[in-house]
């Protein structure tokens, strides 16, 4: 198995994850502070400002779960398969499965026959439309994770080479991983554009998308969904069900609460602005780091010296 299929070290991934989470939370806090300052200038109504403040606090608490979720996720950058030809990173296996699902979904038995049989043609049409959006988002995810995977492999290699010479200069290791992954600044900018596209599409499709899909379902569709989940025979679909009426009252309450939610309104704005701020900070950090090697020739020579060990022998500190 070649180096491309080597398992990325836990250390490299853990360091990258910790650093990027701090950057993301910093971007979120920056976006919230800007939104609250803008809201304070726009309105002098204390209650409205307090409502926005509570919404921001709710979002902060919700994003706190992100760290916990990432800690519990299986390692997505490990490789599956014993043979070199089978050594695919886990993230690629997962995305491949989802891509096949969303590609086949519009022609599935569920959407073509089952949902129409229950009078849920509108839901079938909406799921078909969303499947196309999900496919587009998965493409953005693939581009981002492919580049991140390459960066992690190069970062792991940098750590391993530095360890051989007892060198603990983290900046040099990150510089090597950066210029080894993106040889030119144009390649780096393409990655940043892919990052922004991934964040934007993830927000619209996977976070807000399911909520929007729910809000688009009318009362008739929800009635059929509740009945489809509770009746034992198709003949019972047209019969009135008191329990279904009760569920519809719950649906109307939830639907109105979600539709009028200040949290959702603020979350969309905060996360949209935070994604831009996150990419801005990441781009600036990479520019500052790579600024030590302003030309293509300098970057090429740096990689050669790093990999040969000459850089460490000349710089024992």
Q: Closest by alpha carbon to 289, among 155, 147, 149?
A: 155
Lowest average pLDDT, out of 48-57, 236-245, 253-262, goes to 236-245
Q: Summarize pLDDT for 145-194 with one digit per residue, the tens.
A: 999 999 999 999 999 999 888 888 899 999 999 999 999 999 999 999 99
The mean per-residue pLDDT over the stretch 27-35 comes to: 94
Better-scored residue on pLDDT, 51 or 315: 51
Is pLDDT of 4 > 50?
no
Residue 224 predicted with pLDDT over 80 = yes
The string of pLDDT tens digits covering residues 258-291 is 888 888 889 889 999 999 999 999 999 999 999 9
- Pairwise pLDDT comparison (119 vs 187), residue with the higher score: 187
Share of the chain above pLDDT 90, in %: 45
**Quick one: pLDDT at residue 9?**
58
In the chain, helix, strand, coil percent, each to 5?
Answer: 85, 0, 15
The answer to whether the beta carbons of residues 271 and 203 sit under 8 Å apart is yes
- Confidence at residue 172, expressed as pLDDT on a 0 to 100 scale: 93
Domain enclosing residue 65, as ranges: 3-314
d(CA 122, CA 166): 64
Q: What is the structure's pLDDT at 71?
A: 74
pLDDT at 24: 94
d(CA 159, CA 12): 8
- Average pLDDT on 96-118 reads 92
pLDDT of residue 315: 53
Over pLDDT 70: what percentage of the chain? 88
Burial of 272 (0-12, 13-18, 19+ CB in 10 A): middle
Q: E strands of the chain, at which residues?
A: 79-80, 88-89
Number of domains in the chain: 1
Cα-atom radius of gyration of the chain, to the nearest Å? 25
pLDDT score at 85: 46
Q: What is the pLDDT of residue 80?
A: 61
* Contact partners, residue 139, CB within 8 Å, separation at least 6: none
When pLDDT is cut at 50, 70 and 90, the band that residue 117 belongs to is confident
User: Using CA atoms, how far apart are residues 36 and 49, in angstroms rounded to an integer?
Assistant: 8
62, 161, 162, 168 from 293: Cα distances, Å = 40, 20, 19, 20
pLDDT digits (tens, 9 = 90+) for 197-206: 999 998 888 8
Tell me the torsion sign for CA atoms 191, 279, 195, 157: positive
CA dist., res. 65 & res. 236, Å (int)? 42
Mean of all residue pLDDT scores within the chain? 86
pLDDT for the residue 20: 92
**Cβ atoms 219, 122 nearer than 8 A:** no
pLDDT for 28 equals 94
Q: Does residue 269 contact residue 35 with C-beta atoms inside 8 Å? A: yes
Closest CA to 123 of 230, 238, 221: 221
Return the top range by mean pLDDT from 1-5, 11-15, 288-292: 288-292
- pLDDT, tens digit (0-9, with 9 covering 90-100), for 126-146: 999 888 888 989 998 999 999
The helix (run of H) or strand (run of E) holding residue 80 is strand 79-80
Bridge partners (DSSP) of residue 79 are 89
* C-alpha span between 290 and 293 (Å, rounded): 5
The confidence score (pLDDT) of residue 7 equals 47
Distance CA 155, CA 11 (A): 10
């Amino acid at each position: 198995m070649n180096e491309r299929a080597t398992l990325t070290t836990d250390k490299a991934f853990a360091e990258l994850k910790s650093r990027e989470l701090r950057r993301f939370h910093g971007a979120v806090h920056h976006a919230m502070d800007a939104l609250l300052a803008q809201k304070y200038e726009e309105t002098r109504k204390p209650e409205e400002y307090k409502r926005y403040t509570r919404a921001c606090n709710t979002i902060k608490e919700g994003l706190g779960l992100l760290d916990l979720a990432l800690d519990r996720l299986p390692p997505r950058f490990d490789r599956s398969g014993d043979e070199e030809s089978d050594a695919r990173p886990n993230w690629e296996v997962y995305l491949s499965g989802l891509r096949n699902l969303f590609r086949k979904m519009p022609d599935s038995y569920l959407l073509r026959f089952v949902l129409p049989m229950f009078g849920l043609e509108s839901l079938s049409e909406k799921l078909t439309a969303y499947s196309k959006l999900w496919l587009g988002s998965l493409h953005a995810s693939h581009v981002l994770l492919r580049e991140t995977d390459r960066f992690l492999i190069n970062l792991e290699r940098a750590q391993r080479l530095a360890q051989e010479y007892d060198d603990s200069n983290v900046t040099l290791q990150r510089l090597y991983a950066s210029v080894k992954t993106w040889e030119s600044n144009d390649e780096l900018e393409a990655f940043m554009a892919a990052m922004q596209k991934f964040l934007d599409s993830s927000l619209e499709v996977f976070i807000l998308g399911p909520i929007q899909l729910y809000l688009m379902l009318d009362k008739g569709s929800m009635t059929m969904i509740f009945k489809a989940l509770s009746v034992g025979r198709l003949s019972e679909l047209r019969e009135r069900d008191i329990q279904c009426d009760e569920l519809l009252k719950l649906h109307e309450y939830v639907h109105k609460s979600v539709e009028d939610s200040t949290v959702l309104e603020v979350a969309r704005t905060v996360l949209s602005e935070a994604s831009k701020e996150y990419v801005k900070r990441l781009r600036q950090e990479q520019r500052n780091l790579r600024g030590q090697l302003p030309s293509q020739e300098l970057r090429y020579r740096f990689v050669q010296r790093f990999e040969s060990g000459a850089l460490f022998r000349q710089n024992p500190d």
